[in-house]
Amino acid sequence: MRGALTIRGPAPVHADGRFAPSPTGTLHLGNLRTALLAWLFARAAGARFLVRLEDLDTGRVRPGIAEGQLADLAGLGLCWDGPVVRQSERHALYAEALVALERAGLIYPCWCTRSEIRAAASAPHGPLPDGAYPGTCRDLPAAELALRQRSGRPTALRVRADGVREAFVDRLCGPVEGVVDDFVVRRSDRAYAYNLAVVVDDAQQEVGEIVRGADLLESTPRQRWLQRTLGLPEPGYAHVPLLLSDDGHRIAKRDATEARGDLAAPQLRGILASGVGLAEPGEAPSLDTLITRMRTLLATEVTA
Ligand code: GLU
């Protein structure tokens, strides 16, 4: 079938999965395709499938969107186990992880503005990738630090990862290697950052296999570093290729309505599954059929 995926080893220790949308916009076809695959990875292995709403960025969360996202998942037949978890109700867990990092001496305050980081990051900085934080506030002299702390200016908190390299084998993308910069774990508005919250939640919810869009692949080395540093289990990863629009652009949540129309669930599943080689174009497969095909695909794992 066209667009068929190749599964690379090794399989995770357990296959409990999840879908974790941010309720900032309606799910588009690419998001739904990722959700379908996350569901199929879990269900084909007879494992749990969880849904978590990543609603920490209160400035971007929009009312009513979460309910629409859950209705879209249910409409496709992607049932989930247990109650839906909301990150906005789990601050205590993130605070605990932050304290552990602070105790280990791995946190420092950062006063850089976005434009300062952009300017500093565009200068060459050894092995750090483009856009990575170059460590401007990492080792401020004590007097300067005290002065800034007295100024009362809001500070972000960053980890001291020092450009360590992380390598892993992604189940869909194959071998991946990345450098970990000193990323933010708590923003200057005191919101816990995505990378911290996602690692804490995936561990606390015992997620074994993380299936999500390939736009998050570059965050994964940071998350793996956090897992190791916090002594948490390391899940498996499968980053789903992004769905591109007809003109080759990445589609955004605001493009959600294109092509979905009033399609019935089997037709919509067919469109989503045919893009990843699990259905023929025009087919309207049942979930059981897709689970059977997914089992076959998982059984034909290749070595990375
Ligand atoms: N909340 C993220 C998003 O909607 C997904 C995070 C994840 O799956 O790790 O893009």
In what helix (H) or strand (E) does residue 184 lie, and over which residues does it extend?
strand 184-186
| Burial zone of 244 (CB within 10 Å; 0-12 exposed, 13-18 middle, 19+ buried) | exposed
Q: Is 8 left (phi over 0), alpha (psi -120 to 50) or beta?
A: beta
Q: How confident is the model at residue 2 (pLDDT cuts 50, 70, 90)?
A: low
DSSP string, 71-124: HHHHHHT---SSPPEEGGG-HHHHHHHHHHHHHTT-EEEE---HHHHHHHHTS-
Ligand 1 centre to CA of 27 (Å) is 12
Find out whether the beta carbon of 216 lies less than 6 Å from any atom of ligand 1. yes
Say what the pLDDT of residue 60 is.
96
- The atom of ligand 1 lying closest to the CA of 202 is 9
- The atom of ligand 1 lying closest to the CA of 18 is 8
Q: For residue range 39-59, what is the model confidence (pLDDT) as tens digits?
A: 999 999 999 999 999 999 999
DSSP code, position 192: B
Q: For residue range 160-200, what is the model confidence (pLDDT) as tens digits?
A: 998 999 999 999 999 999 999 999 999 999 999 999 999 99
- The atom of ligand 1 lying closest to the CA of 54 is 1
CATH of domain 17-93+195-298: 3.40.50.620
**Residue to mutate, 18, 19, 22, 222, ligand 1, most ligand atoms under 8 Å from C-beta:** 22
- The contacts of residue 142 (CB under 8 Å, 6+ apart) are none
Ligand 1 centre to CA of 139 (Å) is 32
Least confident of 5-9, 99-103, 259-263, 300-304: 259-263
Percent of the chain scoring above 70 in pLDDT = 89
Can you tell me the distance from the alpha carbon of 61 to that of 63, in angstroms, rounded to the nearest whole number?
Answer: 7
**Residue to mutate, 33, 51, 54, ligand 1, most ligand atoms under 8 Å from C-beta:** 54
Query: In degrees rounded to 5, what are phi and psi of residue 176?
Result: -130, 140
Find out whether the beta carbon of 21 lies less than 6 Å from any atom of ligand 1. yes
> Considering only CA atoms, which residue is closest to atom 7 of ligand 1?
20
Is 8 a catalytic site residue? no
Residue 177: count other Cβ atoms within 10 Å of its Cβ. 9
Cis bond upstream, residue 12 (ω within 30): no
CATH architecture of the region 104-186: Alpha-Beta Complex (3.90)
Residue 90 has pLDDT above 60, yes or no: yes
Domain boundaries, the chain: 17-93+195-298, 104-186
> Considering only CA atoms, which residue is closest to atom 6 of ligand 1?
20
Instruction: Report residue 75 as tokens.
Output: 């409409």
Find out whether the beta carbon of 200 lies less than 6 Å from any atom of ligand 1. no
Residue 205 has pLDDT above 60, yes or no: yes
Annotated active-site residue in 14, 90, 187, 253: 253
Say what the pLDDT of residue 31 is.
95
Task: Return the closest-CA partner of residue 17 out of 209, 191, 235.
Answer: 209
Q: How confident is the model at residue 114 (pLDDT cuts 50, 70, 90)?
A: confident
Can you tell me the distance from the alpha carbon of 61 to that of 18, in angstroms, rounded to the nearest whole number?
Answer: 20
Q: For residue range 231-270, what is the model confidence (pLDDT) as tens digits?
A: 999 999 999 988 776 666 665 555 545 556 678 999 999 9
Q: How confident is the model at residue 32 (pLDDT cuts 50, 70, 90)?
A: very high
Residue 137 has pLDDT above 80, yes or no: yes
Average pLDDT over residues 100-115: 95
Say what the pLDDT of residue 276 is.
92
Q: Is 206 left (phi over 0), alpha (psi -120 to 50) or beta?
A: left
Ligand 1 centre to CA of 147 (Å) is 37
Find out whether the beta carbon of 212 lies less than 6 Å from any atom of ligand 1. yes
Say what the pLDDT of residue 252 is.
59
Instruction: Report residue 207 as tokens.
Output: 């997620």
Find out whether the beta carbon of 20 lies less than 6 Å from any atom of ligand 1. yes
Can you tell me the distance from the alpha carbon of 212 to that of 128, in angstroms, rounded to the nearest whole number?
Answer: 24
Task: Return the closest-CA partner of residue 76 out of 290, 297, 300, 294.
Answer: 290
Find out whether the beta carbon of 29 lies less than 6 Å from any atom of ligand 1. no
